[in-house]
Amino acid sequence: ASIAREKAGIAKRGVPFVTGEMDPAVRQVLVAEAERRGAHPVIPVDSGAAPTRTLGLKGRHQHANAWVALGALNALAPRFGPVGNVWPESFGRAYLPGRFDVRGRWIFDVAHNPDGARVLADTLREYDPPHPRRALVGVLGDKDYLGMIDCLTPAVDGFVFTLPDSAPERRRWDLGRLERDLGGLAVAHDFEPQFERALQRVQDDAATVLVTGSFHTVGDALARLPGFAPVG
């Protein structure tokens, strides 16, 4: 409850507050705190409702985001909204670089914590790209990288762990320590600190190449691959 109240601290007097929280107890706290702060209108939306059209963004979790976005659109001033109770056509063209960003056999995702990695793994299972799936992973050293790897392992066939060049020196993970910490990993894995070589190695025999672990890893890969614009 305290975390929910803290999150509702973004509520502003006279400004719409839209929430798609699905847990009834948490939603009740969010709504009560937003109302206490004078937000108006306070709009709880059913983010678990069935989709009304194909969404451009991939992953079941994006359906919830789309319902919240629709709630926000319907709360806008009349010259901008409302747009109704179904997803507008533009939602079918929605695109977010670096978030399950599929480009041919490549998938780029900036997941950088276990929660993000769990969603990524779920989306991989749902989208079901062809095997073998190889993952190029570069995570900052202050993140729970073991938790991330644990989430991703069932969804891929192999890893190449690397160091993205743009990662700040003081925050880079230690591949030697990672190798010791991992112990016996259930899938094939390799350690290549040179990013350029890692980017080449991960493509060997791969039908699908996943690039993930941080904004640095995704951005550095996109900057090096011909015809792929960097994120942002």
How far is C-alpha 73 from the geometric centre of its chain's CA atoms? 22
Helical residues (DSSP H) of the chain, grouped into ranges: 2-7, 24-36, 61-74, 114-127, 145-152, 175-182, 195-201, 215-224
Domain boundaries, the chain: 2-93, 101-224
| Average pLDDT, rounded, for the chain | 92
CA distance from start to end of the chain: 35
Give burial (CB, 10 Å; 0-12/13-18/19+) of 191. Answer: middle
d(CA 78, CA 63): 25
The number of beta carbons lying within 10 Å of the beta carbon of residue 215 is 16
pLDDT of residue 229: 62
**CA distances for 59 relative to 43, 138, 204, 218, angstroms:** 24, 22, 27, 19
Can you give the length of the chain in residues? 232
pLDDT digits (tens, 9 = 90+) for 13-43: 999 999 999 999 999 999 999 999 999 999 9
The yes-or-no verdict on residue 85 having pLDDT over 60 is yes
What percent of the chain is modeled with pLDDT above 90?
A: 78
Q: How many helices (H) and strands (E) does the chain have?
A: 8, 8
Task: Name the 3-class secondary structure at 164.
Answer: coil
Instruction: DSSP letter for 36, please.
Output: H
User: What is this structure's pTM?
Assistant: 0.81
Burial class (CB in 10 A: 0-12, 13-18, 19+), 227: exposed
Q: Return all residues near 86 (Cβ < 8 A) that are at least 6 apart.
A: 52, 53
pLDDT band at residue 230, thresholds of 50, 70 and 90?
low
Average pLDDT of 56-78? 90
Q: Regarding the domain delimited by 101-224, which CATH topology (the fold level of the hierarchy) does it fall under?
A: Protein-Tyrosine Phosphatase; Chain A (3.90.190)
Residue-wise pLDDT tens digits, 44-65: 999 999 999 898 888 888 899 9
